Amino acid sequence: MHELSFALGIIEGVEDELDRRPEGRVVAVHLRLGPLSGLVKEALLFSYDLACEGTRLEGSKLEIEETSVVLFCTTCNQERPAISLQHLCCAICDTPSSDIRGGFEMEVFALELVDEDATCNTTHNTTQAS
């Protein structure tokens, strides 16, 4: 189950960020996940909770934003969503395409931190990709 390895990588990266922000406690990690990433959402959520035990991220949530498959349509001459993962055709004009441009995402794009010494919450955007 490579979801556990990926979850451990997320935690390692977030802990590196926490080293630069020692006053912060992680409430949530926001992740973009594409259907072609090779990761199963439910297995990743389970693995994340398991991997967080005993770390500074224990009690935090993994918030997953699922993306769709995006392909380049030669008829529309634009990037368009695919009809489905099984039907790789432009959702606008139904032209088949093998030029897949999106759907492979598996990236942390934001952290929700609570400053233990302050009264307000902050969201930290990051471009960390795994």
Token match 């349509």: residue?
A: 73
**What is the rounded CA–CA span in Å between residue 111 and residue 100?**
29
11 has a pLDDT exceeding 50: yes
**What is the rounded CA–CA span in Å between residue 98 and residue 6?**
27
pLDDT tens digits along 35-64: 999 999 999 999 999 999 999 999 999 999
Note if the pTM is more than 0.85: no
Which CATH class, in words, describes the domain spanning 1-67+106-130?
alpha beta
**What is the rounded CA–CA span in Å between residue 80 and residue 57?**
37
Domain spans in the chain, listed from the N-terminal domain onward = 1-67+106-130, 68-102
**What is the rounded CA–CA span in Å between residue 67 and residue 89?**
16
